[in-house]
Copies of this chain bind each other. A is one copy, B any other.
Amino acid sequence: MAITLYELAAANPDIRFSPYCWRTRFALAHKGLPTDTVPWHFTEKDRIAFSGQGRVPVLADGETVVSDSWEIALYLERRYPERPSLFGGGRGAAHALFINAWADTIVIPGILRMVIGDIFRALRPEDQGYFRESREARFGRPLEAVAEGREQRVVEWRQSLLPLRGVLARQPWLGGEAPDYTDYIVLGSLQWPRCISGFALLEDADPVRDWRDRGLALFGGLGAAAATV
């Protein structure tokens, strides 16, 4: 029985833009697991209520339901140990947790403030209200004010990618000689703005750009073929 993955979708349901859902998509491709993906919108809480919470990714694998991209990665590794490893065994997952936390606390918050207006514009009208209200409550100001000054802020954000460049100067992937879940964590984070926004985050000469493009070409161009705004 195929796995089902609920993914965050824009008004155009082909546009799947969640950084966390992309981590899971790449992880499933790495494991070579056939997957049915289902578009889901911010306000459709009832459609994933069976997961016991209200956010995607939600993965349904037979009777098993898992939410949270990190938990899903650990689940897939545990459930399908005979397939290519996401973490490489040993303390691979323990160390990968740092990269996950770095992406979640540094990379993603920086991107969100730059593309928050683009996200809003790409949503269905019925999701726009929810998005504006919940995000404005979180930031304590209007979406438009959060998004302001991104041309300046992107320079500082690019600086925050220094650790990634440090790794890429020594090895081709975060996972070493071949890509693994640590790459998908950051690739997913960059696929998000790529799908939902026209704003150029990475400079052409940035080694991160080259690494991202190699990542988008994996699995027959899974990432590169994704629908974008």
Contacts and interface: CB of A to CB of B under 8 A. Distances in A.
Contacts of A90: 85, 87-92
Contact of A91 (B98, B101, B166, B175): B175
A162 interface: yes
A90 B90 CA distance: 6
Given A105-B163, A163-B106, A166-B101, A91 B88 contact: yes
A162 B101 contact: yes
A119 interface: no
A180 B91 contact: yes
Given A106-B162, A162-B106, A167 B91 contact: no
Interface in A174-217: 174-177, 180, 182
Interface string A55-97: 0000000000000000000000000000001011111111111
A98 B99 contact: yes
A104 interface: yes
A196 B87 CA distance: 38
Assembly stoichiometry (copies): 2
A171 B97 contact: yes
A102 interface: yes
A100 B106 CA distance: 17
A contacts with B: majority SS: helix
A174 B94 contact: yes
A171 B160 CA distance: 24
Interface residues of A, number: 36
Contacts of A165: 101, 105
A67 to B, nearest CB: 16
A171 B97 CA distance: 9
Contacts of A102: 98, 102, 163, 166
B180 A104 contact: no
B95 A175 contact: yes
14 contacts: A88-B91, A89-B91, A91-B95, A91-B175, A92-B92, A93-B176, A94-B171, A95-B96, A95-B182, A97-B171, A98-B98, A102-B163, A102-B166, A106-B160
Given A85-B90, A94-B174, A104-B163, 6 more contacts: A94-B176, A94-B177, A95-B98, A98-B102, A101-B163, A102-B102
